């Protein structure tokens, strides 16, 4: 019932925004809002079309470029996501979000060092970006920098204790630093917050403790 209500709401909002875009065909904000709602509704092809429309109207609409990258990332096309975020940074070099996105993309591509560098740049620009602290922890774990991973994970959790991924990444960092009891507690909290903690990780913790 709730899901159907949400779909009905999105359909109504989409119709309103489509009408607004017809009335204001050169309004970047209108097309961007429509793209965001299309994405929420799972209409990624339509979202991409509207984001490209934003760039046609204003070639410097960097947020549209960032969102294009996000859609490609969600679709698993990391090369296109990388290209989109790099273009966004040409437009706006101080975009913490774009740097953080690059950190996530490089992590997915298995390049820990580039991932670390990108996350650090994001955090230089926005030291309170909790997702970047969690991502930096993961990148350090990939690189085998377990002490640095723990420091990053703790910083993120300090900023936002109820961020599920942050608690999960803290648990993994604690595990690699042999703080097993704390790791289990953090993993438990991540689960309570709704994060799908890897059952194999929980099993490994139980065996160690």
Q: Is the pTM of this model over 0.75?
A: yes
Reported as a single tens digit per residue, the pLDDT across 115-166 is 999 999 999 999 999 999 999 999 999 999 999 999 999 999 999 999 999 9
Q: Which two tokens stand for residue 146?
A: 């377990």
Reported as a single tens digit per residue, the pLDDT across 58-101 is 999 999 999 999 999 999 999 999 999 999 999 999 999 999 99
Closest to 167 (Cα-Cα) out of 120, 122, 209, 201: 201
State the pLDDT at residue 129: 98
Closest to 70 (Cα-Cα) out of 113, 110, 34, 39: 39
Rounded to whole angstroms, the Cα distance separating 192 from 171 reads 13
Reported as a single tens digit per residue, the pLDDT across 7-65 is 668 999 999 999 999 999 999 999 999 999 999 999 999 999 999 999 999 999 999 99
Rounded to whole angstroms, the Cα distance separating 52 from 115 reads 27
Rounded to whole angstroms, the Cα distance separating 82 from 152 reads 24
Q: Which residues contact 44 (CB under 8 A, 6 or more apart)?
A: 38, 71, 74, 75
State the pLDDT at residue 122: 98
Query: Helix 164-176 crosses helix 146-159 at what angle (to 10 degrees)?
Result: 150
DSSP string, the chain: -HHHHHHHHHHHHHHHHHHHHHHSTT-HHHHHHHHHHHHHTT-HHHHHHHHHHHHHH-TT-HHHHHHHHHHHHHTT-HHHHHHHHHHHHHH-TT-HHHHHHHHHHHHHTT-HHHHHHHHHHHHHH-TT-HHHHHHHHHHHHHHT-HHHHHHHHHHHHHH-TT-HHHHHHHHHHHHHTT-HHHHHHHHHHHHHTT----HHHHHHHHHH-
State the pLDDT at residue 7: 64
State the pLDDT at residue 208: 80
Closest to 123 (Cα-Cα) out of 142, 144, 148, 97: 97
Q: pLDDT-derived band of residue 3, with 50, 70 and 90 as boundaries?
A: very low
State the pLDDT at residue 41: 94
């Amino acid at each position: 019932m709730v899901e159907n209500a949400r779909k009905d709401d999105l359909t109504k909002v989409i119709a309103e925004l489509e009408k607004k875009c017809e009335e204001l065909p050169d309004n970047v904000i209108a097309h961007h809002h429509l793209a965001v709602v299309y994405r929420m509704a799972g209409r990624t092809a339509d979202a991409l079309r509207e984001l490209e429309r934003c760039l046609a109207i204003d070639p410097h609409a960097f947020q549209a470029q960032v969102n294009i990258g996000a859609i490609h990332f969600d679709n698993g096309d990391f090369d296109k996501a990388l290209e989109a975020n790099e273009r966004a940074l040409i437009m706006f070099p101080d975009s913490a979000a774009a740097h953080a996105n690059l950190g996530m993309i490089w992590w997915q591509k298995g390049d820990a060092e580039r991932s670390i560098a990108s996350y650090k740049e994001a955090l230089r620009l926005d030291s309170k970006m909790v997702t970047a602290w969690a991502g930096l922890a993961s990148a350090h774990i990939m690189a085998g920098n377990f002490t640095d991973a723990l420091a990053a994970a703790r910083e993120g959790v300090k900023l936002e204790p109820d961020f599920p991924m942050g608690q999960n990444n803290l648990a993994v960092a604690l595990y690699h630093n042999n703080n097993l009891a704390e790791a289990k507690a953090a993993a438990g909290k991540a689960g309570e917050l709704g994060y799908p903690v890897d059952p194999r990780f929980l099993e490994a913790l139980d065996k160690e403790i």
